[in-house]
Structure 1
């Protein structure tokens, strides 16, 4: 596997079952390197203390204490995150909601429930 094929993804979701499904789904693509965080505070702490930087950030929209859009703003202010693509993963499928995520700067929106067998290819399509 070449460095160009590797895709580093940070996934943040407060639902441990969804995190597990995402982990299994993205493991179908051996070139994806995944880091998981359970909430915005954990993601911010990791981003500030770890040298590892993702190529793509995937965020749940509705999380306690800090929602996905707020976390996106906070992460973008950190070194190594400006200009990175962000994708929201959400059950909020109203057209107005999806439009607001794009307006906030999201590269894409993946709706829950998603197909676990095609998640990796869907994510790659948003990056390429």
Structure 2
């Protein structure tokens, strides 16, 4: 597995050691000593994943992650937190802030590589699943969505059950979800929202992750059954 990684950590020794281990494992790594430097590198080169310390001066990891999630360019970028804080409350705060994995120090470098590899493989797979297929595949997806809606309607309307977890969608994620439920494909959604197809693919991938689904039809069924779409 290969990929571009941005590593942000204010501890020189740890930063150099992690960078060396990741590079030995086949990844290309850019390192930054703080969040401001990390942001500058992000704007120059888009990585596939970010690894960030939490306890940093000036701008900490939570603030850095918030900046990422508020910027449409980086909203779906996988983020791994490294920190000496291993309390459950801290981990929960990290996940609520939008990180994808949380690894307390000290950690085994092999575990970090395993986490990074898994996140990148999942992102690749979900991006592929989120992409539009050929015309016959698109027609089949639309037919399946129509069948799901018809089946739920025959039950006397969409029977909504509470989602097993509280899902917080960003406004753009909600807009994309509503259009997916309408049966629109990525190119059509991109035109409707005046954005790029690549951005739509990222949003759909993020919706897959948040809902635990693996295809558009699964996503539509889940959204309708749990009242997540308008």
Q: TM-score, normalised by structure 2?
A: 0.49
Matched, 1:47 2:62: no
Q: 1:72 to 1:14 in 2, by over 3 A?
A: same
More strand per residue:
1
CA contact (8 A) 1:47 1:53 kept: yes
Bigger proportion of residues as helix: 2
Q: Deviations over 1:87-120 (max 9, x none)?
A: 1001100011001101111100011111134432
Choose which of 1, 15, 21 in structure 1 pairs with 2:17: 21
| CA distance in structure 1 between the aligned counterparts of 2:42 and 2:72, rounded to whole angstroms | 9
**Unpaired stretches in structure 1, ≥5 consecutive residues:** none
Regions of 4+ moved over 6 Å = none
Per chain length, whose mean CA-contact separation is higher, i.e. which structure has more relative contact order (CA < 8 Å, sep 6+)?
1
Q: Does 2:2 match 1:6?
A: yes
The total of aligned residue pairs comes to 121
| Alpha-carbon spacing, 1:46–1:79, altered in 2? closer, same or farther (3 Å) | farther
* TM superposition score normalised by structure 1: 0.85
Q: Which residue of 2 aligns with 1:86?
A: 79
Mind listing any 5+ residue stretches in structure 2 that lack a counterpart?
122-230
User: Are 2:22 and 1:35 equivalent residues in the alignment?
Assistant: no
The structure with the largest alpha-carbon Rg is 2
On the 8 A contact 1:60/1:89 being kept in 2, the answer is yes
